[in-house]
Amino acid sequence: ARFGEFGGQYVPEALVDALAELEAAHSLAVSDPSFWQELEGMYEYMGRPSYLYEATRLTEHAQGARIWLKREDLNHTGSHKINNAVGQILLAKRLGKKRIIAETGAGQHGVATATVCARFGLDCHVFMGAEDVRRQGLNVFRMRMLGARVIPVTSGAQTLKDAINEAMRDWVTNLSSTHYLVGSAIGPHPFPTIVRDFQHVISKEIKKQMMEKVGVLPNAVVACVGGGSNAIGTFYDFLPDPSVKLIGVEAGGDGVDTQRHSATLSQGKPGVLHGVRTYLLQSANGQIIETHSVSAGLDYPGVGPEHAHLKDSGRAQYMVADDEQALRGFRLLTQLEGIIPALESAHAIWGGAQYASTLRKEDHVVICLSGRGDKDVEQVSELLKSG
């Protein structure tokens, strides 16, 4: 599928048949009521529907619109990643695959994949940059406890991009036995569509919950953007509602005036990476630049093609929160609401509170709290000590 000039399938010949098989299985599944019954039968296991919680202390602090949090942090395994992992494991079963591989950066997708592999009795191999193995240690322990093999990747910057490279290399040599459970709305068609189809339960629920609680649509929905899966899930069901602003928050790292950030939509240019045409952070001669973010899950030079199109079409806006602002968002939510967010989600907290402060008291802003911060408390306390 294409999203305007973005998307597509820029892959070696060897992958074309496997992607066609996956696309066929996916379109069959999403038009089969028994597939959705099977998926919705897992909602209790996943902790769906997730709560929509009014953050009154954060609202007071921002002194503007009423702020609501979509509690994807309370899902089983601690983030929105479980939504996609469950959907894709059901697809993998329909495809008769016995071996599952995945990439991970923050480790949340790795844990979600290891979890569904344990639950469905499949063999699980997770590729993770060695730098991320170091900074998301809790999740490495969890993946191993769940029976997955965690394979540290030592090429390149040893972060998410490098883990994806290794996962794709593995997949090409194990196509008949293996499903590559892609963790974000990236990669060649049909992956961005598959991941969006399993993540838009987020906006579907937000819409229902807002109508039940306050009887109006939100003025804006806000989500952090790494590869773009929690954001596209938060945006998608509001696409037909022009009154609802869609705001993505990218990782500004050390600042977009430096070379050390991951603000792909704000600072990048169109190009092809990991089989898909989208926005990329690339040097003048087209080399992918090494990114940085305090949060492993946003530390990626690409972004989902659907977001590239939403940006160019003007339907969505994308702002930037740098490391300092994300840490401020992390502390704000922790100290005002007693909720410790994932560092990735902390970018959306900071961005959402900023935006809310520009609106009136009778307005509503919903922020997707994509994950919990257990995995990050060690790193954050180090950062706070160093001042």
Ligand X SMILES: CC/C=C(/N=C/c1c(COP(=O)(O)O)cnc(C)c1O)C(=O)O
Judged by the rule CB under 6 A, the positions of this chain that interact with ligand X are: 79, 81, 103-110, 160, 183-184, 224-231, 297-298, 342, 344-345, 370-371
CA–CA distance, 255 with 257 (Å, rounded to integer): 5
CA–CA distance, 288 with 282 (Å, rounded to integer): 4
CA–CA distance, 278 with 276 (Å, rounded to integer): 6
Decide the pairing of beta strands 52-54 and 66-71.
antiparallel
Give min distance, CB of 26 to ligand X, in A: 18
Burial 261-288 (b: 16+ CB within 10 A, else e): bbbbbbbbeebebbbbbbbbbbeeeeeb
103 is catalytic: yes
CA–CA distance, 59 with 298 (Å, rounded to integer): 26
The answer to whether residues 144 and 118 touch, using CB atoms and an 8 Å cutoff, is no
Give min distance, CB of 186 to ligand X, in A: 8
CA–CA distance, 360 with 355 (Å, rounded to integer): 11
The residue to which tokens 């196509």 are assigned: 175
Choice among 70, 79, 103, 375 that is catalytic: 103
CA–CA distance, 359 with 79 (Å, rounded to integer): 28
204 is catalytic: no
70 is catalytic: no
Give min distance, CB of 214 to ligand X, in A: 26
Give min distance, CB of 183 to ligand X, in A: 3
Q: Which is nearer to ligand X, 64 or 227 (CB)?
A: 227
Q: Which is nearer to ligand X, 148 or 359 (CB)?
A: 148
Choice among 161, 293, 370, 375 that is catalytic: 370
Give min distance, CB of 138 to ligand X, in A: 12
CA distances to 148, 149, 195 from 366, rounded to whole Å, are 35, 37, 21
Exposure on the CB side of residue 371, measured as CA atoms within 13 A? 34
Give min distance, CB of 359 to ligand X, in A: 24
* Among 139, 128, 131, CA closest to 101: 128
Choice among 50, 70, 72, 81 that is catalytic: 81
Concatenated DSSP letters for 124-135? EEEEEEHHHHHH
Beta strands in 8-167 (DSSP E): 52-54, 66-71, 99-104, 123-129, 149-153
Q: Which is nearer to ligand X, 108 or 115 (CB)?
A: 108
Q: Which is nearer to ligand X, 59 or 104 (CB)?
A: 104
Q: Which is nearer to ligand X, 52 or 359 (CB)?
A: 52
Q: Which is nearer to ligand X, 186 or 220 (CB)?
A: 186
CA–CA distance, 332 with 340 (Å, rounded to integer): 9
* 317 CB-contact burial (10 Å; exposed 0-12 / middle 13-18 / buried 19+): middle
Give min distance, CB of 317 to ligand X, in A: 16
Q: Which is nearer to ligand X, 249 or 359 (CB)?
A: 249
Give catalytic residue positions: 81, 103, 370
